[in-house]
């Protein structure tokens, strides 16, 4: 009996030991200390694709960390990116707007901070540096789209309820990444004109993109805290469970294509 138990323990011990790993990481972008969050599951493989997760305008909060853990469960090493420095976040709209504006108002700063995070993720020993993608929510969605526009070396970018407008439209041949935009059709922050302009921009640039509109869905539809935060800050945002499910499935489908062995 003891021999049987020892054999079972030997056979299954790697599975029992394998678990989700989480790590708070510090890195630099210029003179600013950034505080990110890494998640991975070593049971999913020794060399994994990497995914950058760019937060909503609230900052690097628990929601961004949760998405990183969900990606780790799918077999990716995920880095929840700090775009504001020092790991700042707030649940107050005025603070969040100030954080966001401090980045967007300075030309090149968002890309510098994104590239620093990408470099950190690519340097991880369990990450396949040739297979890195990025996803983003709200401000983060706009950020990853802009990184694709700038030709950052990414396999794919996925924008969840992100702003589509830009001051630096993609130039022909510039976009390397597959682009997936997941949008609420009733999002008051994304106009029909901006959607049309985005599609025209992507077509002219020759980008490989897909745009998905979820009928009747408004801004923030992936975040279960959207209703609470919207009410507290008088913002037209709301969670939609079905759109959340469908958009995550669309992301998974794209990643299964771009990260084929």
How many whole angstroms separate alpha carbon 247 and alpha carbon 159? 10
pLDDT above 90 covers a percentage of the chain that reads 90
What does the block give as tokens for 259?
């990260």
Which residues have C-beta within 8 Å of that of residue 76, sequence separation ≥ 6?
Answer: 40, 44, 48, 49, 50, 51, 255
Closest by Cα among 145, 197, 162 to 133: 145
pLDDT of residue 16: 40
Asked whether the predicted pLDDT for residue 5 surpasses 80, the reply is no
> Bigger pLDDT: 260 or 209?
209
Question: For strand 48-54 and strand 127-137, is the pairing parallel, antiparallel, or unpaired?
Answer: parallel
pLDDT of residue 19: 86
Question: Can you tell me whether residue 195 is helix, strand or coil?
Answer: helix
Q: What is the DSSP letter of 162?
A: -
Domains of the chain with CATH codes: 18-258 (3.40.50.1820)
What mean pLDDT do residues 174-187 have? 98
């Amino acid at each position: 009996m003891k021999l049987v138990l020892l054999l079972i323990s030997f056979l299954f011990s790697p599975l029992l030991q394998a678990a989700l790993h989480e790590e708070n990481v510090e890195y630099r972008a210029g003179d600013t200390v950034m505080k990110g969050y890494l998640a991975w599951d070593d049971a999913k493989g020794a060399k994994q694709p990497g995914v950058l997760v760019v937060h909503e305008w609230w900052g690097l909060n628990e929601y961004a960390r949760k998405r990183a853990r969900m990606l780790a469960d799918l077999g990716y090493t995920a880095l929840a990116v700090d775009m504001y420095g020092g790991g700042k976040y707030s649940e107050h709209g005025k603070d969040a707007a100030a954080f966001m504006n401090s980045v967007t108002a300075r030309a090149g700063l968002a890309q510098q901070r994104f590239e620093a995070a990408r470099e950190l993720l690519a340097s991880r020993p369990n990450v396949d540096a040739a297979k890195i993608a990025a996803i983003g929510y709200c401000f983060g969605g706009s950020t990853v789209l802009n990184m694709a526009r700038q030709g950052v070396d990414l396999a794919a970018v996925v924008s969840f309820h992100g702003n589509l407008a830009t001051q630096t439209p993609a130039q022909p041949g510039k976009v390397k990444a597959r682009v997936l935009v997941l949008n609420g059709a009733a999002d008051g922050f994304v106009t029909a004109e901006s959607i049309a302009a985005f599609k025209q921009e992507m077509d002219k640039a020759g980008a490989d993109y897909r745009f998905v509109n979820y009928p009747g869905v408004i801004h923030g539809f992936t975040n279960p805290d959207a209703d609470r935060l919207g009410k507290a800050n008088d913002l037209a945002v709301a969670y939609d469970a079905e759109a959340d499910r469908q958009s995550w499935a669309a992301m998974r489908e794209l990643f299964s294509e771009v990260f084929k062995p």
